[in-house]
Structure 1
């Protein structure tokens, strides 16, 4: 027996219910897979320069202070002496931490020791300390750089923004450095100049998207080193090397190009360390070299996801003026990337 035909009203109700369910499902997907991570409005001011207390009556007007005065205010109010006066942030794009410090209880492979002998010697002599700095997905460059300088939590929508980077307006360390009078310079991946278009006194950016270039992208960084290491006007120098990442995209982790490229990075670390050890600083300033990676890579050299290989980034800290062991062996070799840099 044939079923009773649907009335127009019942058909309209079922259609409306089906469309509503589809809209709800689409919204759940969008807000679940592309979550919005709102930041608190505004920037931290002089009230954040002091040590935490229970006194909420602190007020100051720092709107008319010069950068040098803000820097002096920070030193006076924080009551925390500066350990280092200048910083070199060397970003080796795509370098997995296990290349340098192994995985779990296993040391790095012999081929990695042979590729980066100087850096390994600094670690073994306790003149440097290294960590697995766990990166949060998406493991692509732009959101990882934002996390390093601000503690920001990335979302998968940042994968699309990675191809058209906009100026970063949230509260971050580089803006604060600039505000208290630091001179910042940058050489390498032009993502930095897109995120911070007006902060750098000197910069030379290169595109990160021509992945077949494994030579010029790094030469364009290193060619500035000799002059900049001799200069005394900057306080933070950013060096962002792209060659390791590009080698991975071309041939994977075990590409024949990987060992020579790692040796090139090791030679850069050696050059910076030896130059600082021999020449020191005429003004008695101590310099810190921080060698980091923004993300790791899979066996095929890709990244973007949440696998161990992709999130296993590196953080190495080297006191460039120290001539003796200063770092005790660390019992905790894993940190979160955004916390590691933001609170250092």
Structure 2
């Protein structure tokens, strides 16, 4: 037996570092505390023991320190997964196509009447669900390793808006993409995580009337997946695209109409 062959390395056994081949962006560890509730100054001191206050007292302390009264009392965060901005806002100086504008007439009317604010949010790749949600709630920049983690999502432990809102006593409700539940286990008072591709959007909308009538939540997350599925199956020119856009437009109309009826209630001002 050739001793050189006996001691030579297996050609398929070589050191491999996933982190080296797919670098991930570094994150700042720790949780933002009361020191970030107000503008920094030379003599800014915050009682560290205040972090252990009950949520209601912590919420009041936040308002006192920030000296910024909230403009809204509640937030509805509606995510239409896979919706290109150009369908609503057009591309460059060009307006959206006639078909796209006719597919979402209520949304276009809100923009025309300046009852809604439109802007482009440019996402960094990879544009799969999990790293994009992390970016939305924490500002984190995803790495390509997140593509692999997207299929086995773990709890998100870095500082983020949902955790901060939960700490000050906000009640959170989530309807839609199951990724939210995997990222933020235990944070939601009510949840209905969607995984199927058949009645995916119906499973969200069926709760809408009851949730809009409820008074026990501060943040309502609606994550619709149907349009993304249409895009993957048939592309942007799919015959299913316009009907699905119209369905999303009806959801926006339902939410906006209900919130408009409550605008005179100073204790229930809601931002969509």
Whether TM exceeds 0.5 here: the answer is yes
- Equivalent residues in 2 for 1:233-248 (5 A)? 233-248=216-231
Question: C-alpha separation between the residues in 2 aligned to 1:88 and 1:131?
Answer: 18
In the alignment, does 2:121 pair up with 1:133?
yes
Q: Which residue of 1 aligns with 2:30?
A: 42
Question: C-alpha separation between the residues in 2 aligned to 1:281 and 1:144?
Answer: 35
RMSD, aligned α-carbons: 2.1
Q: Does the 8 A contact of 2:75 with 2:218 survive in 1?
A: yes
TM-score (norm 1): 0.73
Q: Which residue of 2 aligns with 1:223?
A: 206
- Equivalent residues in 2 for 1:1-344 (5 A)? 31=20, 33-207=21-195, 210-211=196-197, 213=198, 216-280=199-263, 282=265, 284-289=267-272
Q: Which portions of structure 1, spanning 4 or more consecutive aligned residues, are displaced by more than 6 angstroms? A: none
Question: C-alpha separation between the residues in 1 aligned to 2:49 and 2:262?
Answer: 41
Unaligned 5+ residue runs, structure 2? Answer: 1-7
Question: C-alpha separation between the residues in 2 aligned to 1:69 and 1:161?
Answer: 37
Question: C-alpha separation between the residues in 1 aligned to 2:241 and 2:179?
Answer: 23
Question: C-alpha separation between the residues in 1 aligned to 2:122 and 2:102?
Answer: 25
Q: Does the 8 A contact of 1:102 with 1:109 survive in 2?
A: yes
Question: C-alpha separation between the residues in 2 aligned to 1:234 and 1:92?
Answer: 21
Q: Secondary structure of 2:191's match?
A: strand
Unaligned 5+ residue runs, structure 1? Answer: 1-14, 290-344
CA drift of 1:285 comes to 2.5
Q: Taking CA–CA contacts closer than 8 Å with sequence separation of 6 or more, which of the two structures ends up with the larger relative contact order?
A: 1
Q: Does the 8 A contact of 2:24 with 2:143 survive in 1?
A: yes
Question: C-alpha separation between the residues in 1 aligned to 2:45 and 2:177?
Answer: 44
CA drift of 1:243 comes to 0.4
Question: C-alpha separation between the residues in 1 aligned to 2:28 and 2:267?
Answer: 39
CA drift of 1:56 comes to 4.9
Aligned residues: 264
The structure carrying a bigger strand percent of its residues is 1
Q: 1:135 to 1:276 in 2, by over 3 A?
A: same
TM-score (norm 2): 0.91
**Cα shift readout 1:112-169 (whole Å, capped 9, x = no counterpart):** 1100000001001111111110001000000000000001110111001111110000
Please identify the structure whose Cα radius of gyration is greater.
1
CA drift of 1:42 comes to 1.4
Q: Does the 8 A contact of 1:93 with 1:243 survive in 2?
A: yes
Q: Does the 8 A contact of 2:24 with 2:144 survive in 1?
A: no
